[in-house]
Chain A
Amino acid sequence: GAVVSQHPSWVICKSGTSVKIECRSLDFQATTMFWYRQFPKQSLMLMATSNEGSKATYEQGVEKDKFLINHASLTLSTLTVTSAHPEDSSFYICSARPTSGDQETQYFGPGTRLLVL
Protein backbone atom coordinates (compact mmCIF):
# COMPACT_ATOMS: atom_id res chain seq x y z
CA GLY A 1 0.00 0.00 0.00
CA ALA A 2 0.82 3.75 0.02
CA VAL A 3 2.05 3.95 -3.55
CA VAL A 4 2.71 7.26 -5.25
CA SER A 5 3.41 7.52 -8.97
CA GLN A 6 4.86 10.29 -11.08
CA HIS A 7 4.66 10.89 -14.79
CA PRO A 8 6.78 11.30 -16.75
CA SER A 9 9.81 9.70 -15.15
CA TRP A 10 12.09 11.84 -17.25
CA VAL A 11 11.68 14.64 -19.74
CA ILE A 12 13.95 16.62 -22.03
CA CYS A 13 12.69 19.93 -23.36
CA LYS A 14 13.90 23.05 -25.10
CA SER A 15 14.46 26.28 -23.24
CA GLY A 16 11.30 28.37 -23.10
CA THR A 17 8.82 25.52 -23.20
CA SER A 18 6.55 24.41 -20.37
CA VAL A 19 6.59 20.98 -18.77
CA LYS A 20 3.84 19.35 -16.72
CA ILE A 21 4.59 16.67 -14.13
CA GLU A 22 1.83 14.56 -12.59
CA CYS A 23 1.81 13.08 -9.11
CA ARG A 24 -0.80 10.48 -8.19
CA SER A 25 -1.55 8.60 -5.00
CA LEU A 26 -2.63 5.19 -6.30
CA ASP A 27 -4.16 3.47 -3.28
CA PHE A 28 -5.00 6.26 -0.86
CA GLN A 29 -6.44 9.73 -0.82
CA ALA A 30 -4.23 12.70 -0.07
CA THR A 31 -5.56 16.10 0.88
CA THR A 32 -2.01 17.38 0.94
CA MET A 33 0.81 16.73 -1.47
CA PHE A 34 4.28 18.22 -1.51
CA TRP A 35 6.73 19.04 -4.26
CA TYR A 36 10.46 18.77 -3.69
CA ARG A 37 13.51 19.45 -5.76
CA GLN A 38 16.81 17.62 -5.43
CA PHE A 39 20.13 18.59 -6.96
CA PRO A 40 22.96 16.06 -7.36
CA LYS A 41 24.50 14.96 -4.10
CA GLN A 42 22.13 17.16 -2.12
CA SER A 43 19.14 16.44 0.05
CA LEU A 44 15.52 17.21 -0.77
CA MET A 45 14.37 20.82 -0.68
CA LEU A 46 10.68 21.54 -0.28
CA MET A 47 9.31 23.77 -3.01
CA ALA A 48 5.61 23.96 -2.24
CA THR A 49 2.67 22.43 -0.45
CA SER A 50 -0.29 21.45 -2.57
CA ASN A 51 -3.74 21.34 -0.95
CA GLU A 52 -6.76 19.84 -2.69
CA GLY A 53 -9.23 22.50 -3.65
CA SER A 54 -7.12 25.47 -2.60
CA LYS A 55 -4.08 27.42 -3.66
CA ALA A 56 -0.65 25.98 -3.13
CA THR A 57 1.72 27.55 -0.65
CA TYR A 58 5.28 28.13 -1.77
CA GLU A 59 8.51 28.13 0.17
CA GLN A 60 10.60 31.26 0.34
CA GLY A 61 12.51 31.84 -2.86
CA VAL A 62 10.29 29.64 -5.04
CA GLU A 63 8.56 31.56 -7.83
CA LYS A 64 4.88 30.67 -7.82
CA ASP A 65 4.40 31.99 -11.36
CA LYS A 66 7.14 29.75 -12.65
CA PHE A 67 6.13 26.60 -10.81
CA LEU A 68 2.37 26.28 -11.18
CA ILE A 69 0.70 23.73 -8.95
CA ASN A 70 -2.79 22.34 -9.30
CA HIS A 71 -4.35 19.86 -6.87
CA ALA A 72 -7.64 19.10 -8.55
CA SER A 73 -8.54 15.87 -6.76
CA LEU A 74 -7.63 13.85 -3.69
CA THR A 75 -5.32 11.67 -5.77
CA LEU A 76 -3.73 14.03 -8.27
CA SER A 77 -1.43 17.04 -8.09
CA THR A 78 0.39 18.57 -11.04
CA LEU A 79 3.48 20.75 -11.23
CA THR A 80 3.99 22.82 -14.36
CA VAL A 81 7.38 24.36 -14.94
CA THR A 82 6.64 27.34 -17.15
CA SER A 83 9.14 28.79 -19.61
CA ALA A 84 11.75 26.32 -18.47
CA HIS A 85 15.42 27.28 -18.57
CA PRO A 86 18.57 25.17 -18.13
CA GLU A 87 18.82 26.18 -14.47
CA ASP A 88 15.46 24.46 -13.89
CA SER A 89 17.04 21.13 -14.76
CA SER A 90 16.74 19.00 -11.67
CA PHE A 91 15.10 15.97 -10.07
CA TYR A 92 11.55 16.76 -9.00
CA ILE A 93 9.90 14.52 -6.42
CA CYS A 94 6.40 14.65 -5.03
CA SER A 95 5.05 13.20 -1.81
CA ALA A 96 1.59 12.62 -0.42
CA ARG A 97 0.11 12.47 3.08
CA PRO A 98 -2.79 10.06 3.57
CA THR A 99 -6.11 11.61 4.51
CA SER A 100 -6.79 8.75 6.91
CA GLY A 101 -4.67 6.36 8.94
CA ASP A 102 -1.10 7.53 9.56
CA GLN A 103 -1.52 11.14 8.51
CA GLU A 104 1.94 12.23 9.56
CA THR A 105 3.96 10.05 7.23
CA GLN A 106 4.66 11.20 3.69
CA TYR A 107 5.03 8.73 0.86
CA PHE A 108 7.18 9.72 -2.05
CA GLY A 109 6.92 9.23 -5.77
CA PRO A 110 9.78 7.87 -7.88
CA GLY A 111 10.76 11.32 -9.11
CA THR A 112 10.90 13.08 -12.48
CA ARG A 113 14.20 14.08 -13.99
CA LEU A 114 13.95 17.26 -16.04
CA LEU A 115 16.64 18.34 -18.48
CA VAL A 116 16.21 21.69 -20.17
CA LEU A 117 18.41 22.26 -23.19
Chain B
Amino acid sequence: EDQVTQSPEALRLQEGESSSLNCSYTVSGLRGLFWYRQDPGKGPEFLFTLYSAGEEKEKERLKATLTKKESFLHITAPKPEDSATYLCAVPYGGTSYGKLTFGQGTILTVHP
Protein backbone atom coordinates (compact mmCIF):
# COMPACT_ATOMS: atom_id res chain seq x y z
CA GLU B 1 0.00 0.00 0.00
CA ASP B 2 1.32 3.41 -0.94
CA GLN B 3 2.13 5.56 2.04
CA VAL B 4 3.44 9.05 2.63
CA THR B 5 4.61 9.96 6.12
CA GLN B 6 5.78 13.41 7.14
CA SER B 7 7.78 14.32 10.20
CA PRO B 8 7.78 16.10 12.48
CA GLU B 9 4.07 16.89 12.82
CA ALA B 10 4.95 20.34 14.11
CA LEU B 11 8.15 22.33 14.17
CA ARG B 12 8.85 25.56 16.01
CA LEU B 13 11.89 27.55 14.99
CA GLN B 14 13.40 30.87 15.87
CA GLU B 15 13.91 33.26 13.02
CA GLY B 16 17.19 32.38 11.33
CA GLU B 17 17.30 28.85 12.76
CA SER B 18 17.69 26.46 9.83
CA SER B 19 16.08 23.02 9.84
CA SER B 20 14.65 20.25 7.66
CA LEU B 21 11.28 18.61 7.15
CA ASN B 22 11.05 14.95 6.15
CA CYS B 23 8.73 13.11 3.80
CA SER B 24 9.09 9.32 3.65
CA TYR B 25 7.27 7.39 0.97
CA THR B 26 6.64 3.79 -0.02
CA VAL B 27 5.43 3.57 -3.61
CA SER B 28 6.35 1.43 -6.54
CA GLY B 29 7.74 3.20 -9.56
CA LEU B 30 7.73 6.75 -8.26
CA ARG B 31 6.54 9.25 -10.84
CA GLY B 32 7.16 12.47 -9.03
CA LEU B 33 7.10 13.83 -5.52
CA PHE B 34 5.48 17.17 -4.87
CA TRP B 35 5.91 19.76 -2.16
CA TYR B 36 3.21 22.31 -1.37
CA ARG B 37 2.79 25.07 1.17
CA GLN B 38 -0.64 25.67 2.68
CA ASP B 39 -1.60 28.72 4.68
CA PRO B 40 -4.65 28.57 6.99
CA GLY B 41 -7.90 28.79 5.06
CA LYS B 42 -6.21 28.63 1.67
CA GLY B 43 -5.47 26.05 -0.99
CA PRO B 44 -2.02 24.50 -1.32
CA GLU B 45 0.59 26.57 -3.12
CA PHE B 46 2.92 24.64 -5.40
CA LEU B 47 6.59 24.66 -4.40
CA PHE B 48 8.53 21.85 -6.09
CA THR B 49 8.28 18.72 -8.18
CA LEU B 50 11.09 16.16 -7.91
CA TYR B 51 11.31 13.23 -10.29
CA SER B 52 14.44 11.24 -9.58
CA ALA B 53 16.76 10.37 -6.71
CA GLY B 54 19.53 12.90 -6.35
CA GLU B 55 17.47 15.72 -7.75
CA GLU B 56 17.50 19.03 -5.89
CA LYS B 57 15.47 22.21 -6.39
CA GLU B 58 15.70 25.58 -4.68
CA LYS B 59 13.42 28.55 -4.22
CA GLU B 60 14.47 31.41 -1.99
CA ARG B 61 15.07 29.91 1.48
CA LEU B 62 13.72 26.48 0.54
CA LYS B 63 15.59 23.55 -0.93
CA ALA B 64 14.01 20.19 -1.72
CA THR B 65 15.98 16.98 -2.16
CA LEU B 66 14.96 13.44 -3.09
CA THR B 67 16.33 9.98 -2.37
CA LYS B 68 14.85 6.60 -3.21
CA LYS B 69 12.95 6.49 0.08
CA GLU B 70 12.45 10.06 1.25
CA SER B 71 12.50 13.72 0.48
CA PHE B 72 13.71 16.61 2.59
CA LEU B 73 12.62 20.21 2.57
CA HIS B 74 15.46 22.28 3.94
CA ILE B 75 14.66 25.74 5.27
CA THR B 76 17.62 28.07 5.56
CA ALA B 77 17.42 31.09 7.86
CA PRO B 78 13.63 31.02 8.02
CA LYS B 79 11.51 34.11 8.53
CA PRO B 80 8.13 34.40 10.26
CA GLU B 81 6.43 34.56 6.86
CA ASP B 82 7.62 31.00 6.21
CA SER B 83 5.18 29.82 8.86
CA ALA B 84 2.68 27.47 7.19
CA THR B 85 1.80 23.81 6.78
CA TYR B 86 4.09 22.04 4.35
CA LEU B 87 2.62 19.09 2.48
CA CYS B 88 4.28 16.46 0.36
CA ALA B 89 2.41 14.20 -2.06
CA VAL B 90 3.03 11.39 -4.51
CA PRO B 91 0.83 10.00 -7.31
CA TYR B 92 -1.21 6.90 -6.47
CA GLY B 93 0.79 3.77 -7.06
CA GLY B 94 3.71 5.90 -8.10
CA THR B 95 2.30 6.04 -11.61
CA SER B 96 1.09 8.93 -13.64
CA TYR B 97 -2.62 8.76 -13.02
CA GLY B 98 -2.73 12.19 -11.47
CA LYS B 99 -4.33 11.19 -8.20
CA LEU B 100 -2.23 12.31 -5.27
CA THR B 101 -1.68 10.78 -1.87
CA PHE B 102 -0.82 13.48 0.66
CA GLY B 103 1.12 13.25 3.86
CA GLN B 104 -0.42 14.70 7.00
CA GLY B 105 1.80 17.77 6.74
CA THR B 106 4.29 19.53 8.97
CA ILE B 107 3.09 22.67 10.70
CA LEU B 108 5.99 25.10 10.75
CA THR B 109 5.99 28.08 13.09
CA VAL B 110 8.81 30.58 12.90
CA HIS B 111 9.06 32.99 15.81
CA PRO B 112 10.64 36.43 15.37
Q: Which residues of A contact B (CB under 8 A)?
A: 2, 4, 6, 32, 34, 42-44, 46, 49, 91, 93, 95, 97, 102, 104-111, 113
Contact = CB atoms under 8 A, between A and B. Distances in A.
Interface of B: 31-32, 34, 36, 41-46, 49, 51, 87, 91, 96, 98-100, 102-105
Contacts, number: 56
A13 to B, nearest CB: 19
A110 B49 contact: no
Nearest to A92: B43
A43 B102 contact: yes
A23 B109 CA distance: 30
Contacts of B91: 104
Main SS of the interface on chain A? Answer: strand
B43 A43 contact: no
A43 B103 CA distance: 7
A109 B91 CA distance: 19
Given A43-B87, A43-B104, A43-B105, A32 B42 contact: no
